[in-house]
Amino acid sequence: MNKREKQSNILNVLKINKVGIGALLENKLKKEKIDDMMIKLICGWEYYSSSTSEGRILVLWRKSFTKVQVLLDHHQLVHCSVKITGMTMEFLVTFVYGLNTLDERLELWRGLSCIHVINRPWLIMGDFTAVFNFDDRAGGRTISAAELLDSNAWLAHSQLVSLKRIGSNFTWSNKQDGGDMIYSKIDHVGFKEVVLDSWNKPLAARGLLGVTTKLLRLNHVLKAFNREEIGDVEQSYHQAKGDYQLALTRAQAAPTDLAVQEAEKAAAIRYQDHADRYRSFLIQRSKITWLRKGDDNNAYFHACIKKGREENRIVSFLNERGDIIDDYEAMLRLTRDFGKSDVKKALLSIPGIKSPGPDGFGSEFFKTMCLDTRDIISDAVLGFFRDGKIPEALNETALALVPKTDSPSRAVDYRPIACCNTLYKCI
């Protein structure tokens, strides 16, 4: 990029695509060259480069369009806070340029894992020099499970998902001829959970009504995400299972063929991943307790109800001196206002396997999103104990009729189960 012709091409790309902020990777530009380029060619732009990332990552942004603050500078990444002119909300952008070997990239994954993002959109883009899926390379050596281990471990830890892309699936080529040609997908873009993009949008409503409205809006977003990104879990599982069985048969027939053995390992990992998803899907669609004990066991069912009532009933307690207090009036004098810790404890106490209410959000959703939504959720729940108001939508209950027998034919052969919304249970 030291040549003026290449710099002019970069300027054209910025103008044509109306870029407001971006980064040039592997630019090999020294500070004096950058200053010369900015003054003579790319006017009206600011840049960030340092001795740590110089020659590798050069961040550029239009002064009239964005305000950028660098939060972390690393030789494999630059992490920034970005505020677009005219907008109140800031978002985070991390530009990545990974080193070449697995050992060198360990520092990249550690650096990314140290970035903690709460309640703000986060976009990560760049050249990871790493693969995330078995189909990220065409030609050359087959992608091994070891190559995916670190990248996928970080991806799972960070709760990021890849954005959908258009055009070519591959972003790099070795430019060789014939059978030596290799295509690879090593440039990736991700964002901090599709949930936050919907959750953080401005909303006039507050309290439980605001949370209920956010959940209703988010429901539509997640349905589209499930349809476009997750797909048919059962069909994918059976496809992965068939592919693994075929790969296993081939591996057993050719034990000395390394390519076939690697393909079998890859198929095994893919099958295990889809099997875990399918198992989770089945658990969510069933009541696992009744699968183990049998739903027609009325004695067991009523014993569970009776046990729960007895455990939740307060008949006495010990005071600070160790005396047993069984006076109801004395118990009432010890009551106190609820706090955020009580709301958190109540939410965490609801098993993730419990069926969701009409809004479709089980307790596992709130547990997963706890760090990003806990303040809004806690304030909304505590607000109910101040004003006693609850939205009608939150107070709704879905009734499910569970058969008591193998061949139900009468109304008494069904047991009604009330599925309440999770926040209603929390209250």
For the chain, give every domain's residue range. 4-192, 234-284, 293-335
CB count within 10 Å of CB 13 equals 11
Return the CATH number of the domain spanning residue range 4-192.
3.60.10.10
Q: Using CA atoms of 310, 314, 315, 320 in order, give the dihedral in degrees to the nearest 10.
A: 140
Strands 137-138 vs 397-403: parallel, antiparallel or unpaired: unpaired
DSSP 165-190: --S-S--EE----GGG--EE--EEEE
Handedness of CA 276, 279, 284, 288 (dihedral sign): negative
Q: Are 286 and 354 in contact (CB under 8 A)?
A: no
Q: Are 160 and 190 in contact (CB under 8 A)?
A: yes
Strands 187-192 vs 160-162: parallel, antiparallel or unpaired: antiparallel
Q: Cα–Cα distance between 46 and 69 in angstroms, integer?
A: 11
DSSP, collapsed to helix, strand or coil, labels residue 370 as helix
Length of the chain: 427
Q: Cα–Cα distance between 415 and 402 in angstroms, integer?
A: 5
- 278 Cβ contact partners less than 8 Å away, ≥ 6 residues apart: 233, 234, 236, 237
Q: What is the pLDDT of residue 81?
A: 92
Q: Which helix (H) or strand (E) holds 300?
A: helix 298-312
**What is the DSSP secondary structure assignment for residue 144, as one 8-state letter?**
P
DSSP, collapsed to helix, strand or coil, labels residue 221 as helix
- 266 Cβ contact partners less than 8 Å away, ≥ 6 residues apart: 134, 142, 143, 144, 145, 247
User: Average pLDDT for consecutive 10-residue bins of the chain (427 residues)?
Assistant: 74 77 84 81 83 83 88 90 84 89 87 81 84 66 76 73 56 44 45 67 82 84 74 83 88 82 84 78 55 47 60 64 66 70 85 78 79 83 87 84 78 84 86
Q: What is the pLDDT of residue 136?
A: 65
Strands 91-97 vs 122-127: parallel, antiparallel or unpaired: parallel
The alpha-helical segments, DSSP class H, found in 205-257 are 207-225, 233-253
State the distance between the two ends of the chain, measured CA to CA, in whole angstroms.
61
17: its two tokens: 């695509």
CB count within 10 Å of CB 313 equals 7
Nearest to 105 by CA among 131, 76, 132: 76
- Half-sphere exposure of residue 182, counting CA atoms within 13 Å on the CB side? 11
Q: Which helix (H) or strand (E) holds 343?
A: helix 340-349
Long-range contacts of residues 156-161, Cβ cutoff 8 Å, at least 24 apart: 157/113, 158/112, 158/113, 158/190, 158/192, 159/192, 159/193, 159/368, 160/122, 160/124, 160/190, 160/191, 160/192, 160/193, 161/190, 161/191, 161/193, 161/194, 161/229
